[in-house]
Copies of this chain bind each other. A is one copy, B any other.
């Protein structure tokens, strides 16, 4: 019993450093970054970034892929992303008075819509989730689960493959608490597949180089037709 206290502490220690925390937050976009990119992003020397990545990989939070002279890292697992999001959601909802026009517009874009590792978040993610609940596709009254109608909708209307929607190790549907909206949105396997389909169909597109996304005109039409959502930008 006492042993697991030190395990818990070691795990928490991985995120207890500002630079490592910034690295993990950057990787929340679900993509692979090189060590150099992360060093530049966190404004530390490359040697320092190397050491951090070593610890994070050692601790199982990240996985690496060597390719030529590059070292790509990404989050090990959707559950890691979930963990980091959960921790972020606990942070006091402070009034972040970020100064500078670029920061403000970037923040506004993120609030409007973004990816949260592999699913949609921000106002867009919450709007989709709410519309699905309204339509009886999602049940939030007794927890957070897809209904039978919801499963059918994903395969019929959205043309997802049924074998992609089997409950496996990862839960099919999960609520993920949004740190800007303070509301739940759809995560889990279904949330990931839905997000991927939105990208494949050209319904959403990335804004800039970060995690921000916004619906395309075709996407706005699809949201209106499929979920009765209008006025989503």
Q: Which residues from chain A sit less than 8 Å from chain B, CB to CB? A: 1-9, 11-22, 24-25, 60, 79-80, 82-84, 86-88, 90-92, 96, 98, 103, 106-107, 110, 139-148, 150-151, 167, 171-175, 179, 188, 190
Contact = CB atoms under 8 A, between A and B. Distances in A.
A70 B194 CA distance: 53
A90 B83 contact: yes
Nearest to A179: B4
B12 A13 contact: yes
A58 B24 CA distance: 25
A215 to B, nearest CB: 22
A106 to B, nearest CB: 7
Copies of this chain, tallied across the complex: 2
A171 B167 contact: no
15 contacts: A1-B25, A3-B96, A4-B179, A5-B18, A8-B25, A8-B91, A9-B20, A9-B21, A11-B90, A80-B90, A141-B167, A142-B145, A143-B145, A143-B172, A144-B145
A90 to B, nearest CB: 6
Shortest Cβ-Cβ A-B pairs, 10 listed: A143-B145, A142-B146, A12-B15, A143-B173, A145-B145, A16-B16, A5-B22, A13-B16, A12-B16, A9-B21
B15 A8 contact: yes
Contacts of A179: 4
B9 A17 contact: yes
Contacts of A141: 145, 167, 172
Contacts of A79: 90
A147 B142 contact: yes
A40 to B, nearest CB: 13
A211 to B, nearest CB: 10
Contacts of A21: 5-6, 8-9, 12
A92 B25 contact: no
Contact of A88 (B8, B16, B144): B8
B88 A174 contact: no
A161 B173 CA distance: 28
B9 A18 contact: yes
Contact of A1 (B15, B84, B106, B190): B106
